[in-house]
Structure 1
Amino acid sequence: MAYLTKPQITELLDALKARSTSPHPALVARICLAIGARWGEAQALRPDRIRGNALVFANTKSKRVRMVPVTAELVAMIQGHWKQHGPFTNCIGVFRQVLLSTTINPPRGQASHILRHTFAAHFIMGGGHIVTLKEILGHASLNMTMRYAHLAPEHLNDAIRLSPLTDLPTTARP
C-alpha cells in the first residue's frame, strides 16, 4: 500500500484539470481525497445523498450506511458541478489514463484506491484518531483500519510526545 505526498496530490489534481476528457474525474478524485471515499462510492453520489455539510454513502462495500462531514466549499463544488455537467458518470478509465500521464507510479491495482490510502495516511500523520478514521472509512473492524495506519510511520513518534514522562520536572527523573 502507498499514499500520495502533497506535491503528488497537486500534480494529480492539476493533471486531471488539464488533461481529462471528462469533467467528472477531477471532482470524484477530490471527494476521495477529502474524505477517503472509495471511487465507486464517490462516483455514485446523488443530490439526495447530501445532508447539510455531510455526504451519505449507502450500498458500500461493508453494506453499512455512513455519513461523513465535508466542508461547505466541497458541497458547493459538487452541487455546482452537477448543475453544469449533470451527475457523475463512470469515469474511472479516464482517471487511470490521466494518472498514467503523471510521474506518480502507484502499486499495481491501486490506481484509484491510492486516493483512499492518501486520505487515511495524512489523517493519521496529522494526528487523527484511529477509531475516528475507522468510522470515516466505514470499516467494520479496527483491524481493517490498522492496515492504513502503517502507511504513516511518523505517527509512532507520538510515543515520545504523548508519554506521561515527557516534560516531567528533572527532579522526578532517575
Structure 2
Amino acid sequence: MAIQKKANGRWQADCQPEGRGGKRVQRTFNTKGEAQRWLTAQKAAADRGEWSPPKRDNRTISQLVHEWYELHGHTLKDHTGRLNYLENTARWLGDPKAINFTAEDWILYRKRRLESPNEQGRQPCARTINHEHTYLNAVFNRLISIKKWTHPNPLKGVPKLRVAEPPLTFLSVEQLKALDAALLQARNPNVRTITRICLATGARWSEAETLEAERIHHGKIEFVDTKNGKNRSIPISRDLESEILSGRPISGRLFVGTNFRAFQEALARAKLKLPKGQLTHILRHTFASHYMINGGDLLKLNKILDHSTIEMTMRYAHLSPEHLEDAVERSALYSLERS
C-alpha cells in the first residue's frame, strides 16, 4: 500500500487489498488525507472478507448531470434552466468520462471558452463561466453526498475566474421624479404601481408583478416562492397599500398581463439610459442604495433583499453615512496637519 504525489499535485493511492498476487487498484485524490482514508477503507474491507475489485465507472459528464437531475435537480426552482445550462456545459466539454475529468481539463476548457465565440457568435464572459463552474461543482458535491459518486470532486479547490465588480448604479431623486412623471403618462394601469412596489420594498420585478391580493395585509407585503425559496414580509405605507388594492381583484393576481414593455417605454420617455442588464433591476438597486444613504442597517437590508449571502449586500455598505467616516480623522494627512 503506497501513496505518491503526482506531478499535477494530486495524490495517487496504490494497493493490493487481498495481498501479493491479488488485484491491484489505484485511485487519485486531491489530498493526501483522502488517499490515506481510502487505503484504510480498502484494507478494512479486505480484512472482513468484503472487498471486491471496483468496477470501472464509465459514466460521462452528461450522464452524471442527468442522474443528478433525477435525484435532486428537479426539485430546484429553475430546474429546467439549470439542466439546460449543464447539458450545454457537458457538450462544450466534449462530454468526457467523468472519471477522467480533472481540474486541469476544466482550466483549459474555460480558457478556450473565453477565447472562442459560441454558436451565436457571442463571446462568453468570466461571469458566465463562473456560473458553469458553480453548477457543475454542485452536481459533483450532491452526488458525493448521496453516495452516487465515490471519487473526488475534480473542481474542488479550483478558484473561479476573477470578475471585476460592476459599478453600482441607482436612480437619483431627480431621475426618480422624471421616471414617475413618465409612468403617469403610461396607458398601462399597472406599471406605475408595480414600479412603486419595487422602490418601496426592494422586490424583484417578477415578485411585484405576480403579487396576489392575499399577500397584502396589516400594512405589509408578503413575498412567497421567491428566488431563494424563502418567504419575507416587508412593511409598506398605508397610501401604497390603498393604491395597490384600489380597483383591483380582492383575490388572486393583482396585475394581469405583461407590464415590462410599458416600463421600457416609460424609461425612454424619461430619457434614462441604464447599464446593460439592469432594466428593471435598477429599481432594486435604487431601493437598496437609498435605504443605506438614509441610514439603514446592512443586516436588515440583507433580509429585505432576500440575499443568500451578506457579501452580496455589502456592495451597498459604502453608501451609508457612517461608512468609514473616521478615515478623515485617522489619516496620515490629518496627523501631519495636526502636528
Give TM-score scaled by structure 1 length. 0.83
Kindly report which structure 2 residues correspond to 1:1-174, keeping only aligned pairs within 5 A, or say none. Answer: 1-18=168-185, 20-82=186-248, 87-89=254-256, 90-147=258-315, 149=316, 153-155=318-320, 157-160=322-325
Q: 1:146 to 1:158 in 2, by over 3 A?
A: closer
3-state SS of 1:82 partner = coil
Identity of aligned pairs, percent? 33
Alpha-carbon separation, structure 1, partners of 2:281 and 2:325: 32
Give 1 or 2 for the bigger CA radius of gyration: 2
5+ unaligned residues in a row in structure 2: which ranges? 1-167, 331-338
Report if aligned partners of 2:212, 2:254 keep a CA contact under 8 Å in 1.
Answer: yes
Aligned Cα root-mean-square deviation (Å): 2.5
Q: Which has the higher helix share?
A: 1
Which consecutive unaligned segments of at least 5 residues does structure 1 have? 166-173
Per-residue displacement from partner, 1:89-125 (whole Å, max 9, x unpaired)?
Answer: 2201111122122221110111111000000000011
* CA–CA separation in structure 2 for the residues paired with 1:116 and 1:26: 15
How many Å separate the matches in 2 of 1:154 and 1:65?
27
- Shift of residue 34 of structure 1? 0.8
Higher mean alpha-carbon deviation, 101-110 vs 48-57, is at 101-110
Is residue 182–residue 266 contact of structure 2 (8 Å, CA) maintained in 1?
Answer: yes
What is the rounded CA distance, in whole Å, between the counterparts of 2:234 and 2:311 in structure 1?
A: 20
* Amino acid across the alignment from 1:136: I
Compare relative contact order (CA 8 Å, sep 6+) and give the higher one, 1 or 2: 1
Give how far 1:155 is off: 2.5
How many corresponding residue pairs? 161
C-alpha distance in 1 between matches for 2:181 and 2:224: 30
1:158: Cα distance to partner?
A: 3.9
Q: Is the 8 A contact 2:289 2:319 kept in 1?
A: no
Which one-letter code corresponds to 1:144 in the other structure? Answer: M
Change (3 A) 1:144 1:160: closer
Is the 8 Å Cα contact of residues 299 and 310 (structure 2) preserved in structure 1? yes
Amino acid at match of 1:22: N
Runs of 4+ in structure 1 over 2 Å off: 153-161
SS in 1 for 2:171: coil
DSSP 3-state at the match of 1:136: helix
So what's the TM-score if we normalise by structure 2?
0.44
One-letter identity of the residue aligned with 1:14: A
Q: Deviations over 1:53-79 (max 9, x none)?
A: 000001111111111111111111111
How far off is 1:81 after superposition? 4.3
